[in-house]
């Protein structure tokens, strides 16, 4: 935050790159955090970014690459670095990030890069991580951690930390394992500092700890770490063998990503989009949902087509179609969102109680809204009978849309689909359509044409 990225600085930097004024460039970035340098590099061309990165220390470049956005990195790396150059940088990158980076690349570039990694242990670790699904605990874990044998003393533990100090950036606890590498417990760093060096760790380690299996979905890992306020969680296999750990900073990223995905699901954007994309990519990401919405609108037009005769007699009936459709959509989104936010708590208590509550809320809102709309129709100088039709239809739509909004997320969740989609255009469109069908059906019943 000390580093103000102004348009002036960007302009200056572009000029300095053109003039090959290496010293001035280096000096301007002296002591800045890689995350801040990244902000700058997003504002220049790939070639300019490459030029700057060649000037910087390899350790800094490694961090810059770790923190690049996935889409940008995917396009940038293969163009900017030969496999042997990337391999050299990977030595400075944690195994989890290294695996993510390699997973994004083409198979050939990936394989060649791995073959060039000098540190064999590091290469083996990365290869192991490449095996895991990216959305589960294994896909998020890193091999960097401090592991101690249960037969060691505190002194031996500290020696191990010293040995790993370079490699493991953040040490929260030391994980205690037996001779077969089975996870037995942990010792907080604080405890280690306060215990005499000759004490056997078997006397001081905590046996009660939360660990996750490598195939646990990352969202569950996130909830668990939040629930128990954990800084890091060890990952084990089915036999209880310690495989790695997941640190809270990766979980924060996962939570933020999930929130973005939910927002996009609700608003009907089908891929990750940002302002780096071309207009065509942006259009393509939005088109599928727009077309679904259009299909709904077309169906609505066809439904209304069935009532053309009635519309010719009372054109005023058409006035209230947007109102009915919009209310159905709004109620559905509201119910679905509340449901999505509480879907994890649903396991206990049974769904019937929730549905009853939702129906009660819909009933209350339906009465208020139907009453308001009846008054409005009268105020517009239309016949009371039309008012009754609109009110009854609106009331029914509120009830039906509430039910849809409540049940669809539960169904989606059951089938392993992100329930946030239930607040999205698909269900909104369905509710629109439902509303119009109900409206005209009620009209035919009450106005008996």
Q: Closer to its own copies by CB, 200 or 322: give it.
A: 322
Residue among 283, 384, 411, 417 that touches its own copies (CB under 8 A): 283
In a 3-state reduction of DSSP, which class is residue 194?
A: coil
Element (H, E) at 8: helix 7-18
Residue among 20, 70, 151, 341 that touches its own copies (CB under 8 A): 341
Q: Closer to its own copies by CB, 34 or 138: give it.
A: 34
Residues 141-200 within binding reach of its own copies (CB under 8 A)? 158, 161-162, 165, 170-171, 189-190, 192-194
Whole-angstrom distance, CA of residue 405 vs CA of residue 409: 7
* 29 binding its own copies? (CB under 8 A): no
Residue with tokens 């646990």: 216
Residue among 61, 90, 148, 300 that touches its own copies (CB under 8 A): 300
**Residues 157-186, buried b or exposed e (16+ Cβ, 10 A)?**
bbebbeeeeeebeebbbbbbbeeebebbbb
| Binding span for its own copies by CB under 8 A among 99-107, 109-117, 349-357, 407-415 | 349-357
Q: Which of 205, 135, 155 is nearest to 416 (CA)?
A: 135
* 251 binding its own copies? (CB under 8 A): yes
Residue among 376, 403, 418, 447 that touches its own copies (CB under 8 A): 376
Element (H, E) at 235: strand 232-236
Q: Closer to its own copies by CB, 73 or 110: give it.
A: 73
Q: Closer to its own copies by CB, 7 or 179: give it.
A: 7
Q: Closer to its own copies by CB, 119 or 253: give it.
A: 253
**Residues 328-337, buried b or exposed e (16+ Cβ, 10 A)?**
bbebbbbbbb
Contact 307, 320 (CB under 8 A): no
Residues 6+ apart with CB under 8 A from 397: 324, 327, 328, 331, 431, 434, 435, 438, 439
* 259 binding its own copies? (CB under 8 A): yes
Q: Closer to its own copies by CB, 107 or 348: give it.
A: 348
Residues 262-281 within binding reach of its own copies (CB under 8 A)? 262-264, 266-269, 273-275, 279-280
Beta-ladder partners of 245: 142, 234
Whole-angstrom distance, CA of residue 270 vs CA of residue 276: 16
Site string for its own copies, 69-108 (x = CB under 8 A): ----------------------------------------
Q: Which of 442, 205, 434 is nearest to 307 (CA)?
A: 442
Q: Closer to its own copies by CB, 17 or 398: give it.
A: 398
Q: Which of 183, 193, 186 is nearest to 213 (CA)?
A: 183
How remote is the C-alpha of 399 from its chain's centroid?
Answer: 32
| Binding span for its own copies by CB under 8 A among 72-80, 107-115, 121-129, 351-359 | 351-359
| Binding span for its own copies by CB under 8 A among 105-113, 115-123, 296-304, 406-414 | 296-304
Q: Closer to its own copies by CB, 8 or 120: give it.
A: 8
Residue among 432, 437, 442, 443 that touches its own copies (CB under 8 A): 432
First to last CA, the chain: 70
Q: Residue 128 CB, nearest distance to its own copies (Å)? A: 23
Number of residues that bind its own copies (CB under 8 A): 119
* 396 binding its own copies? (CB under 8 A): no
CA max distance for the chain: 96
Q: Which of 306, 319, 321, 362 is nearest to 338 (CA)?
A: 362
Q: Closer to its own copies by CB, 132 or 439: give it.
A: 439
Angle formed by the axes of helices 58-67 and 83-90, nearest 10°:
90
Residue among 55, 56, 326, 403 that touches its own copies (CB under 8 A): 326
Residue among 290, 378, 411, 445 that touches its own copies (CB under 8 A): 290
Q: Residue 417 CB, nearest distance to its own copies (Å)? A: 17
Residues 205-244 within binding reach of its own copies (CB under 8 A)? 208, 210, 224-229, 231
Residue among 397, 423, 427, 438 that touches its own copies (CB under 8 A): 423
Q: Which of 71, 31, 23 is nearest to 281 (CA)?
A: 71
Residue among 365, 407, 418, 446 that touches its own copies (CB under 8 A): 365
Residue among 178, 330, 418, 441 that touches its own copies (CB under 8 A): 330
Residues 43-62 within binding reach of its own copies (CB under 8 A)? 43
* 384 binding its own copies? (CB under 8 A): no
Q: Residue 116 CB, nearest distance to its own copies (Å)? A: 27
How many degrees, rounded to 5, is the angle at CA 172 between CA 169 and CA 174? 100
Residues 6+ apart with CB under 8 A from 136: 214, 215, 216, 217, 218
The two three-digit tokens of residue 27, written as one number = 């000096």
């Amino acid at each position: 935050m000390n580093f103000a990225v102004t348009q002036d600085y960007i302009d200056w930097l572009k000029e300095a790159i053109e003039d090959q004024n290496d010293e001035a460039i280096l000096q301007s970035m002296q002591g800045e955090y890689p995350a801040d340098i990244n902000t700058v590099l997003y504002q220049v061309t790939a070639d300019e970014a490459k030029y700057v990165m060649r000037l910087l220390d390899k350790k800094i470049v490694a961090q810059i690459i770790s923190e690049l956005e996935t889409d940008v990195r995917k396009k940038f790396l293969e163009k900017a670095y030969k496999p042997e150059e990337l391999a050299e940088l990977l030595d400075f990158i944690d195994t989890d990030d290294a695996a993510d980076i390699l997973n994004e690349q083409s198979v050939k570039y990936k394989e060649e890069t791995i073959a060039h990694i000098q540190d064999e242990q590091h290469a083996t670790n990365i290869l192991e991580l490449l095996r895991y699904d990216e959305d589960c605990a294994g896909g998020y874990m890193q091999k960097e951690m401090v592991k101690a044998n249960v037969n060691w003393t505190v002194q031996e533990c500290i020696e191990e930390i010293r040995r790993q100090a370079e490699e493991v950036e953040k040490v929260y606890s030391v994980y205690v394992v037996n001779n077969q590498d089975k996870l037995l417990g942990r010792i907080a760093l604080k405890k280690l500092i306060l215990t005499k060096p000759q004490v056997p760790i078997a006397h001081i380690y905590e046996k009660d700890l939360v660990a996750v299996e490598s195939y646990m979905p990352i969202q569950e890992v996130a909830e668990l770490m939040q629930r128990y306020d954990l800084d890091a969680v060890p990952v084990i296999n089915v036999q209880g063998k310690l495989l790695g750990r997941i640190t809270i900073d990766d979980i924060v990223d996962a939570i933020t990503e999930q929130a973005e995905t939910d927002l996009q699901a609700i608003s009907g954007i089908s891929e990750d989009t940002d302002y780096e994309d071309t207009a065509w990519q942006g259009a393509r990401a939005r088109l599928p949902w727009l077309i679904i919405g259009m299909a709904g609108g077309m169906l609505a037009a066809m439904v209304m087509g069935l009532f053309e005769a009635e519309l010719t007699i009372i054109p005023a009936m058409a006035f209230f179609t947007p109102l009915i459709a919009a209310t159905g959509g709004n109620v559905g989104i509201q119910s679905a969102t509340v449901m999505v936010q509480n879907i994890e708590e649903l396991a206990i208590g049974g769904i019937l109680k929730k549905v009853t509550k939702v129906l009660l809320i819909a009933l209350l809102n339906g009465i208020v809204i139907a009453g308001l709309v009846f008054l409005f129709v009268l105020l517009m100088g239309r016949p009371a009978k039309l008012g009754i039709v609109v009110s009854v239809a609106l009331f029914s739509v509120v009830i039906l849309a509430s039910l849809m909004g409540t049940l669809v997320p539960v169904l989606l969740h059951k089938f392993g689909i992100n329930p946030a989609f239930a607040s999205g255009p698909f269900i909104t469109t369905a509710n629109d359509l439902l509303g119009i069908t109900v409206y005209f059906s009620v009209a035919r019943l009450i106005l008996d044409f």
